[in-house]
Amino acid sequence: MSATRVCALSDLEQDTPLKVDVDGVAIAVVLDSAGEVHAIGDTCTHGDISLSEGFVEGETLECWAHGSAFSLRTGKPLNLPAYEPVPVFAVQIDGDDVLIDPSLKKEV
Ligand code: FES
């Protein structure tokens, strides 16, 4: 599967996740404070909660429900109660386009 344009780079607000759907896969797209764009599975592994409704802090995205913070780079939770990682996806920036391939898990 090829990469799909999910939004414009200019659509992203720093530290404010944007929920997108790519072929049925819900993904949170995050522009971090260092200017890097991340794509991380949107569903918390502890419960059916959308991580894009959570809080970005540095390179983590925190679930609002019970506070597990997931690494934007690896998808791994850094604290309980979640203990399973969420997937992370490779992001391509092409001009002002943000592209994600949902079948491609980012190498970590
Ligand atoms: S649902 Fe996300 S930490 Fe509990």
Pair of tokens at residue 38: 């991340």
Q: Classify 79 as helix, strand or coil.
A: coil
How far, in Å, from the CA of 69 to the mean position of ligand 1? 9
**Digit-coded pLDDT (tens) for 40-89:** 999 999 999 999 999 999 999 999 999 999 999 999 999 999 999 999 99
Domains defined for the chain, CATH in brackets: 4-105 (2.102.10.10)
pLDDT score for 103:
86
Report the mean per-residue pLDDT for the chain: 95
Assign 107 a pLDDT band (cuts: 50, 70, 90): low
Does any ligand 1 atom lie closer than 6 A to the CB of residue 55?
no
Q: What residue owns the CA closest to ligand 1's atom 1?
A: 47
Of residues 8 and 105, more confidence is placed in 8
Does any ligand 1 atom lie closer than 6 A to the CB of residue 65?
yes
How far, in Å, from the CA of 8 to the mean position of ligand 1? 29
Cα separation of 81 and 79, whole Å? Answer: 7
Cα separation of 19 and 7, whole Å? Answer: 10
